[in-house]
Amino acid sequence: MHAKPFAKRSVGSRQTSAREYGPVLSLLLITPLILLMVGGFLYPVGKLFWGSIFVPEASFANYARILQEPLFLLILCRTFENAFVVSASALLLGYPVALAMARVSGRTAMLIAACVLIPLWTSVLVRSYAWIVLLQRNGVVNNALIDTGLTDTPLRLLYTRGAVMAAMTQVLLPFMILPIYSVVRNIPGDLARAARNLGAGSIQAFIRVTLPLSLPGVTAGVLITFILSLGFYITPALVGGPSTLMMSTLIGQQTTELLDWPFAGALAAVLLAATLLLVIVFRRALALNKGFKLG
């Protein structure tokens, strides 16, 4: 009487094990990724780090220079501050868009998706030049302000910190919207309706149901946007000025203009270490709550 169920379980177990790869095959499958990581990331970063200490001789003088000259610490702090502001701005602007994408359907959903994805398919260089067209002295914004009588002379909008953060927010906004959207669209709508049936208002249902369940997407979006902001190069170089110099631009100057590769390696190592430390602290802080564990 028990033979048939046992046979079914055996067949099922064989089918399940057939979907699993052995250690050798798994290693072969991930070998291209390992080679890409070693050749495209670990080797060049390791060479930069090695050169910052042992070229021309074993010394930590390049790192001491960063600590001794306040300008470099100021640029490092400014880079992290700009990344924080850009991430917060992208979250405030992107969360409602992601929520709308997940809740609407039909042509409205297609229109919102097009507004999010088409800029993502456009070159960062083109989008940065578009901000130059908008913010220059004879640009669209200044001409509109003068035509409406709000100002008599063109304002200095380009090559300012505000222009850099606005342009970076616009460029990185899709990286905030898409992770949040992927999580929000999988939240059952019945949960919010059940909360309203139990007496909660729309705002209270959102705060107590939708927002907590969407936090994994918010976490992913904030991390992606923040890390990309730290290493952004093209937009700050085109839209910003000397007063908005960031670590990526400074590293580029050291390598292409001053040809000081050891010091550029030290700057890159400090930026990488600070980024990794911040990400680890962020993940550990979220892991204190079981609902926000990553991985």
Q: Is the peptide bond before 236 cis (omega within 30 degrees of 0)?
A: no
Eight-state DSSP code of residue 292: G
In a domain, 11, yes or no: no
Averaged pLDDT for residues 143-168: 88
pLDDT in tens, 21-34: 788 888 888 999 99
**pLDDT tens digits, 51-86:** 888 877 667 888 888 888 888 889 989 999 999 999
pLDDT confidence of 289, banded at 50, 70, 90?
low
Query: What pLDDT score was predicted for residue 10?
Result: 45
In a domain, 7, yes or no: no
Look at residue 21 and tell me if it is in a domain. no
Residue with tokens 């200490």: 53
Structure tokens at 240: 């910003």
Instruction: Specify whether the CB–CB gap between 251 and 48 falls below 8 A.
Output: no
Residue 32 lies in a domain: no
User: Which has the higher per-residue pLDDT, 16 or 199?
Assistant: 199
Report yes or no on 135 lying in a domain. Answer: yes
> Which of the four pLDDT bands, split at 50, 70 and 90, describes residue 108?
confident
Is the pTM here over 0.85, yes or no? no
d(CA 178, CA 290): 24
**At CB < 8 A and 24+ separation, what contacts does 140-147 make?**
none
Between the CA atoms of 163, 157, 258 and 227, what dihedral angle is there, to the nearest 10 degrees?
0
Query: In this structure, is residue 95 part of a structural domain?
Result: yes
Q: In the chain, how many domains are there?
A: 1
- With respect to residue 27, please indicate whether it lies within any of the assigned structural domains: no
Q: Which domain holds residue 174?
A: 43-292
Residue 161's contacts (CB-CB under 8 Å, 6 or more residues apart) are 82, 240, 243, 244
Asked if residue 212 is part of any domain, the answer here is yes
Check which CATH number belongs to the domain holding 247 and give it: 1.10.3720.10
